[in-house]
Amino acid sequence: MSDKNRSQWDLGRFIETLTYFEVIPLLNWVQQLIQGRPQDDRDKPNGGRNVGVILVAGATGGVGKRVVKRSLEQGYKVRALVRDIDKARSILGSDVDLVVADITKPETLTPVVMANIEAVICCTAVRVQPVEGDTADRAKYYQGVKFYQPEIVDDTPENVEYLGVKNLVEAAAKYLPQTNEKQIFDFTKPSAELKEIWGALDDVVMGGVSASNIQLVENAALFAGNVSTANSGGFASVRTKNFDPPFNLSGYEGVKLRVKGDGQRYKIFLRTDTKWDGIGYSYSFDTVANTWVDIHILFKDLIPVFRAKIVKDAPPIEQSTICSFQLMLSKFEYDGELNPKFSPGGFALELESIKAYNGINLPQFILVSSAGVTRPGRPGINLDEEPPAVKLNEQLGGILTWKLKGEDSLRASGISYTIIRPCALTEESGGKELIFEQGDNIKGKISRDDITELCVQVLKVAKACNVTFEVKEGHNTVKSIDWQRLFSNLEHDK
């Protein structure tokens, strides 16, 4: 192309783009030096901030403290419900979101405690006083394994295992989301943080002169500008900075956009790579001029793309590490094909929201109960062959009877749930194969580490929804578990 046919390229805007997205660290260092403001990790977009909370009850107990840690490792935003904040700080550390409440006192389960929850994992347990024959039987049954104190002490099984669980279930029912959607960006409620996350990324980075921006207008965000094909350009886009931690969208089928466009075809990119010029997972969608529409995009339909070319050997998108989003209007589709609905010049795309969605239910309330809850008083049970808790249920305050009533309160609530009945909990290391059964007949033991992993994983398993089961460990050590397959043969509660 001759010089006289080229439009003026804007070097300043090119540098602004690189600086905004922190492509060249030196440029950002100089900018911070000029502004007199050091880099602060709190300035980084947080993918956990815009999603719901996993509320962990019994968070300082043997299972609960592990659930808190493992959920954070999996990218969830976690809120720990505790009765003693000083004790909780000493066990969970200073970086965990703590709320003080007591499930036996429903008035403490306030909107502050329950706000923005998307799931509850209840690991509470009451410590009962030993009775005659209990300590020796327990030591023999658990083969000398070290015990860990429950989270709730000096209370009654009725108050904790039944009334406390019932209180938590009733409170959760008021706050858990009623749809199978997770809000990612809500442009109807603009915030200063939301405004700072998105920035323009136009063809100026390759010598073009297209220009765009994103503005927060009334009840929406407006992605608008001018696309020019001069200088071999032809695209305008807005992209988020990288989120740290990233969004964890495991268990969802795709993302849904609520948009009003101008009749052109746009693209969305989701990225799991924090690199400036890495692979993006793309989907093209058509708009209807001046009409609000919902665009449903399945994760499985996203196309891996590098510089507008399809990457044929790229793996499917990793839904647990979505670090950035991008919207684009381009004259190209993929591999050199042209966008059939593209026209150069001015454009405008309004957005109300971007959400993750699911066409199926997932468990919202995980209750750690106990194997043996139906055995006390069951005809044909030989108590001499049963674990201590079953054999001494009445002497221990009817602990298993009240656990069963707590389960029943959850089953009757209308909340989607999973009830896990572990056999004897131990402090042994995890990583064993898991054996599931239903009917409450199995005996054995299982590591708290393995119960923890189970609690966190069922949040993503639709087949675990409205299921009650018993679990013990097998003899073999395993490197990984197919969680979907493990639940495939279990029957849903009636």
479 three-state secondary structure: coil
Q: What is the mean pLDDT of residues 153-173?
A: 90
Distance CA 428, CA 188 (A): 50
Q: How confident is the model at residue 3 (pLDDT cuts 50, 70, 90)?
A: very low
Which range has the worst mean pLDDT, 120-124, 153-157, 280-284, 373-377? 153-157
Categorise residue 372: left if φ over 0, alpha if ψ from -120 to 50, beta otherwise.
left
Q: What is the mean pLDDT of residues 103-120?
A: 94
CATH number, domain containing residue 274:
2.60.120.430
Distance CA 155, CA 302 (A): 53
Residues 78-96 have pLDDT tens digits of: 999 999 999 999 999 999 9
State the DSSP code for 261: B
Distance CA 492, CA 463 (A): 8
Whether 341 and 396 map to the same domain: the answer is no
Task: Give the end of a domain, one of 357, 391, 426.
Answer: 357
Distance CA 60, CA 202 (A): 49
The pair of structure tokens assigned to 27 is 């440029």
Q: Is residue 46 part of a domain?
A: no
> Helices 85-92 and 64-73, interaxial angle, to 10°?
50
pLDDT over threshold 80, residue 175: yes
pLDDT over threshold 50, residue 315: yes
Q: What is the pLDDT of residue 182?
A: 83
Whether 386 and 467 map to the same domain: the answer is yes
Q: What is the pLDDT of residue 138?
A: 52
Q: What is the mean pLDDT of the chain?
A: 86
Whether 201 and 295 map to the same domain: the answer is yes
The pair of structure tokens assigned to 201 is 């990324």
Q: How confident is the model at residue 194 (pLDDT cuts 50, 70, 90)?
A: confident
Which range has the worst mean pLDDT, 140-144, 248-252, 317-321? 140-144
What is the rounded (10 degree) CA torsion for 213, 216, 218, 224?
Answer: 10
Q: Is residue 322 part of a domain?
A: yes
Q: What is the pLDDT of residue 31?
A: 46
Distance CA 34, CA 450 (A): 52
Q: What is the mean pLDDT of residues 420-429?
A: 94
CATH number, domain containing residue 119:
3.40.50.720
Q: E strand or H helix at 99, and its extent?
A: strand 97-100
pLDDT over threshold 60, residue 136: no
Whether 321 and 373 map to the same domain: the answer is no
Whether 445 and 388 map to the same domain: the answer is yes
Q: What is the mean pLDDT of residues 220-240?
A: 93
pLDDT over threshold 60, residue 30: no
Task: Give the end of a domain, one of 357, 374, 409.
Answer: 357
Q: Is the dihedral of CA 292, 297, 301, 304 positive or negative?
A: positive
Of 144, 103, 151, 143, give the one whose Cα is nearest residue 127.
Answer: 151
Whether 152 and 263 map to the same domain: the answer is no
pTM: 0.65
Top pLDDT among 69 and 52 is at: 69
Whether 254 and 388 map to the same domain: the answer is no
Q: How confident is the model at residue 293 (pLDDT cuts 50, 70, 90)?
A: very high
pLDDT over threshold 90, residue 127: no
Q: Cα 250 from chain centroid?
A: 7
Whether 143 and 261 map to the same domain: the answer is no
Non-local (6+) Cβ contacts of 21 within 8 A are: 199, 201, 239, 241, 276
Residues 453-487 have pLDDT tens digits of: 999 999 988 899 999 999 999 999 998 899 989 99
Q: Is residue 417 part of a domain?
A: yes
Q: What is the mean pLDDT of residues 150-174?
A: 86
Percentage of the chain with pLDDT > 70? 83
Which range has the worst mean pLDDT, 134-138, 206-210, 489-493? 134-138
Q: What is the mean pLDDT of residues 302-307?
A: 94
Q: Is residue 241 part of a domain?
A: yes
Q: E strand or H helix at 275, and its extent?
A: none
Whether 443 and 352 map to the same domain: the answer is no
CA distances from 315 to 115, 249, 310, 318 (A): 36, 17, 12, 8
Which range has the worst mean pLDDT, 6-20, 211-225, 480-494? 6-20
Q: E strand or H helix at 211, and its extent?
A: strand 211-217
Whether 370 and 465 map to the same domain: the answer is yes
Torsions phi, psi for 72 (to 5 deg)? -65, -40
Q: What is the pLDDT of residue 280?
A: 95
pLDDT over threshold 80, residue 135: no
Q: What is the mean pLDDT of residues 150-176?
A: 86
- For residue 463, the one-letter residue type is K
User: How many structural domains are present in the chain?
Assistant: 2
E strands within 263-315?
Answer: 265-271, 280-286, 292-298, 303-306, 309-310
Residue 170 is part of which domain span? Answer: 53-180+361-487
Of 95, 148, 163, give the one whose Cα is nearest residue 80.
Answer: 95
368 touches 455 (CB < 8 A)? yes
Of 245, 236, 398, 399, give the one whose Cα is nearest residue 328.
Answer: 236
Distance CA 282, CA 297 (A): 10
Of 357, 417, 451, 359, give the one whose Cα is nearest residue 120.
Answer: 417
Q: Which long-range contacts (CB under 8 A, 24 or more apart) does 481-486 make?
A: 481/433, 481/434, 481/453, 481/457, 483/457, 483/458, 486/434, 486/436
Task: Give the end of a domain, one of 322, 357, 392.
Answer: 357
Q: What is the mean pLDDT of residues 260-286?
A: 94
Whether 164 and 258 map to the same domain: the answer is no
Q: How confident is the model at residue 385 (pLDDT cuts 50, 70, 90)?
A: confident
Whether 142 and 76 map to the same domain: the answer is yes
Distance CA 156, CA 222 (A): 57
Q: How confident is the model at residue 207 (pLDDT cuts 50, 70, 90)?
A: confident
